[in-house]
Amino acid sequence: MYTTESHRQALMENYRLGGWMMRYSVFMPKLYNLCKSLGFEAGKILPSRAFCSDESQGFPIILIAKHFGTFPFNHGLVGGVVATDRHGPHAAHGKDMVIIQASHVGYDPETGSFGVYRRLQTEDKGVASCCGKIESVIDWYRAEYQFARDNIFVEPHEGEYWLVIDNQLLNEKREEGIYLHLDELIELDPQQHAAPLRALSTAKCFRASAKLREQFAAAGVSLDRRQALGDLLAPDWFHFERPISGDEEGHGHMEQNLQPAMPWILTSGEPLLEAAKVNTQVEFDRAFRTIVKDSAYRNKRVLYVAGLNIDISPQPGQLFPLTKFVPWAAYIQRADNTHYTLEQDELFRLLDAQSAENPDQIDLESAIRSMSEASEIRIPVEW
């Protein structure tokens, strides 16, 4: 999906949050009414959700059932990856098809930070990472990035800036790790080689590039002593390499989604938020193509919506998160198989134009009560 660094960065920047969020209690009736406006038939719509397995995703699922009148099909793997091998079963269970895909990220209103969520069922009701799957994928890359931040030094030297780089970061025979774009960071010799000015016991010294010196000036950095490069290590000056095992939609699928964008994820202010956005974007681009090609969806109305679930930690007296949805894109297929996609602004405007009142919504408590009060049906068993 990613071809150049500028494309990766542009993709992340184009997914906007401010002014695009909807509470699930508003999003779901608007989504249902959007389906109706597209010709979907009430009572014949089978929703499907591709969410993470976290308990924080339960409230959106309840609202899907309330507004669509049926429990949604499960289309998701851990972290919000779409299980594309479930297209056929999903298509066979309904007339008109809806798929809602969302990665998720926690939000703690007390600290104003993303990536954490209060787990009410733990002994101390403590705050933990959310999404935990994304956190586990990021951990290795974060450690590599932190090593580079702490082990690349800048020091003034006779009116110049020298870059002191740890030998491990210069080892090109490594099978995995963080790899520096040395042509961006240091001045190369006339043969375009990274020739050190001085070799130390565990590092080598190079003259800082003009681009790096310009960044120092733009950042207002005044270097009068040796110090770690730290935040000045820009995301377009390094990348990661790491063999990722596993088939598509297998153990390493999310890591494959995130790895190309990892420099921008880690250098952002909210890594788990950015990672969840990237995963949503990559999954939509991948999954909508499988829907187009799958014969099971032929001659069916299909609405595939992708976005981000923001799980706001429950406040005192609340059982569920105040979940918000941030739409990213949608794929719409008509019954004659003609189809088109909607970008974020188009999708948001279309949703926003729908009524937040759903006359077809069901009363879940009444539905549960009627089932509990229904006459018992005995199943004959002879063994």
Q: Which domains does the chain have, with CATH numbers?
A: 5-135+249-364 (3.40.1050), 140-241 (no CATH)
Q: Is the pLDDT of residue 261 over 60?
A: yes
Give the Cβ contact number of residue 377 at 10 Å. Answer: 5
Nearest-angstrom CA–CA distance, 108 and 324: 13
Section 31-51 average pLDDT: 97
Share of residues in the chain with pLDDT > 90 (%): 69
The answer to whether 114 touches 107, Cβ cutoff 8 Å, is: yes
Task: Look at residue 263 and give its three-state secondary structure.
Answer: helix
Nearest-angstrom CA–CA distance, 83 and 137: 19
pLDDT digits (tens, 9 = 90+) for 362-377: 988 888 888 888 888 8
Nearest-angstrom CA–CA distance, 185 and 206: 9
Q: Is the pLDDT of residue 119 over 90?
A: no
How high is the pLDDT of residue 6? Answer: 53
Task: Look at residue 17 and give its three-state secondary structure.
Answer: coil
